[in-house]
Amino acid sequence: MKLKDTGLTKEQLIAKANKYLIDTAARFDFIEERAKGVYVYDTDGKEYLDFFAGIAVNNAGNCNEKVVTAIKEQLDDCMHTSVYPYTIPQALLAEKVCESIGMDKIFFQNSGAEANEAMIKMARKYGVEKYGPHKYEIITAKMSFHGRTMGSMAATGQPHNACQIGFGDMTPGFKYAEFNNLDSFKEAISENTIAIMVEPVQGEGGVYPGTDEFIKGLRALCDEKGLLLLLDEVQTGFGRTGKLMGYMNYEVKPDIVSMAKALGGGMPIGAICAKAEVAKAFTPGSHGCTFSGNPVVCAGAMAQVDEIIDNKLPENAAKMGEYFMKKLATLPKIKEVRGKGLLVGAEFEEGVSAGDIKHECMERGLLVTACGKNIIRMVPPLIITEEDCDKAYDILKASVEALCK
Ligand SMILES: Cc1ncc(COP(=O)(O)O)c(C=O)c1O
């Protein structure tokens, strides 16, 4: 839909949005009307280099042609069926994802939080049925982010973050340990523990990659203690970290993994994949979802996964991530650059506001996000080139210089 077809001005449309939408986001102050590849365009035709990708979603590029075509074609066949009939896109996507990431079974949801909810429920049911009613505690990491439903919110280890304040008691059954500290997780294990749940790279928490020792150590610890390893790959999945899944960087396999964001290429989807034995915890009626495996969403996701694999986008993410991070380390006022592949964090010296940098960059035509008071997170489409990285660097540099002169 185009603004000119509504008969409204930009200001009128924004006023409507602000009047009727519940206020849950500090929005960019432009209307995105069109997007293609690594660029987003507003209603004035201004071009933004997209190092944001709808928060790590548009990995194969904005409005990827094959994804768009697959969606359009499926719309003419059937749009929604609920979970009862088999559908062609759902069956093909299930096989594609399981086979390409080396897992046995999949259940589709609509979002990352829902996928984590399913992962938590499956682990708890597995523990209770196998070991008894006390066995459902899950240890997660401090500064993690797992979503905004009651279960995924409780799993999130950020008690002082707005996402957890003011909602009353959190859902019981979670304990929190230090990320990248194996001993801390060891100490947290009790007779009630059934699983350990982490992100391979903490994204919202400030872009902290799990170390080799930590992720491999968690796998060994879970094997030794008979626990499940749950990985939240909502942000890291589908090429973002330089491998198809984040865990492939560490040569380990989870018992359950959650995914969302980039799986759908812009269509709302989430999923969990589990080892066959663990997946048996779910039986008809114990979990479900009306929109699970919606055919239009699955058709888009199928094209997206094909594009990511066929065009070797994880490899490009690894290469471009390395190139970009080296450049970022030379920015003025930079304290540390962290990341894996194209999940990149630039931490600035105390007093440099990430919110201000984000705004300055936007004015100059670059989209980035802030996480924490002085960290900029960049998650561009995985199709970016060195020239795109150079351009983003130049805009970031000019923005920091303008703010710190
Ligand atoms: C690691 C992680 N888990 C879960 C979520 C929640 O996903 P959604 O916003 O799709 O519910 C996010 C979202 O940013 C995330 O980064």
pLDDT (tens digit per residue) in 209-224: 999 999 999 999 999 9
pLDDT at residue 173, as a whole number: 98
Nearest CA to ligand 1 atom 7: 112
Cβ of 145 less than 6 Å from ligand 1: yes
Cβ of 234 less than 6 Å from ligand 1: yes
For residue 334, give both structure tokens. 């930079």
Class of domain 3-60+312-403: alpha beta
Per the CB < 8 A criterion, the answer to whether 117 and 149 are in contact is yes
Is the model's pTM score more than 0.95? yes
Distance CA 197, CA 153 (A): 13
Please say whether the dihedral angle defined by the alpha carbons of residues 302, 79, 76 and 4, taken in this order, is positive or negative: negative
pLDDT at residue 162, as a whole number: 87
pLDDT at residue 261, as a whole number: 98
pLDDT at residue 372, as a whole number: 85
Cβ of 233 less than 6 Å from ligand 1: no
Residue spans of the domains in the chain: they are: 3-60+312-403, 65-310
CA 343 distance to own-chain centroid: 10
Please state the rounded mean pLDDT for residues 340-357.
97
Class of domain 65-310: alpha beta
Q: What torsion do the CA atoms of 50, 158, 156, 355 make, to the nearest 10 degrees? A: -10
Given a cut of 90, whether residue 405 has pLDDT beyond it is no
Cβ of 151 less than 6 Å from ligand 1: no
Please state the rounded mean pLDDT for residues 398-405.
94
Ligand 1 centroid, distance to 6 Cα (angstroms): 33
Ligand 1 atom having least distance to the Cα of 116: 4
Distance CA 382, CA 130 (A): 41
Q: Which letter does DSSP use for residue 249 in this model?
A: G
- Give the model confidence (pLDDT) of 17-54 as tens digits: 999 999 999 899 899 999 999 999 999 999 999 999 99
| CB atoms inside a 10 Å sphere around CB 402 | 13
The average confidence (pLDDT) of the chain is 97
Q: Which has the closest alpha carbon to 101: 300, 275, 303?
A: 275
CA 9 distance to own-chain centroid: 34
**Which of 58, 143, 146 has the most ligand 1 atoms within 8 A of CB, as the residue to mutate?**
146
pLDDT at residue 42, as a whole number: 98
pLDDT at residue 81, as a whole number: 95
**Which of 52, 199, 235, 377 has the most ligand 1 atoms within 8 A of CB, as the residue to mutate?**
235
- Give the model confidence (pLDDT) of 77-111 as tens digits: 999 999 899 999 999 999 999 999 999 999 999 99
Confidence of residue 325 (pLDDT cuts 50, 70, 90): very high
Ligand 1 centroid, distance to 217 Cα (angstroms): 24
**Which of 234, 236, 241, 377 has the most ligand 1 atoms within 8 A of CB, as the residue to mutate?**
234
Given a cut of 90, whether residue 368 has pLDDT beyond it is yes
| CB atoms inside a 10 Å sphere around CB 274 | 28
Please state the rounded mean pLDDT for residues 182-197.
98
Given a cut of 90, whether residue 161 has pLDDT beyond it is no
Nearest CA to ligand 1 atom 9: 112
Residue 159 sits at the vertex; the CA angle it makes with 253 and 198, to the nearest 5 degrees, is: 5
- Give the model confidence (pLDDT) of 369-386 as tens digits: 998 899 999 999 999 999
353 Rama class: left (phi>0) / alpha (psi -120 to 50) / beta: beta
Q: For 360, list phi and psi in degrees, rounded to 5.
A: -60, -45
Ligand 1 atom having least distance to the Cα of 147: 6
Confidence of residue 302 (pLDDT cuts 50, 70, 90): very high
- Give the model confidence (pLDDT) of 245-284 as tens digits: 999 999 999 999 999 999 999 999 999 999 999 999 999 9
Cβ of 204 less than 6 Å from ligand 1: yes
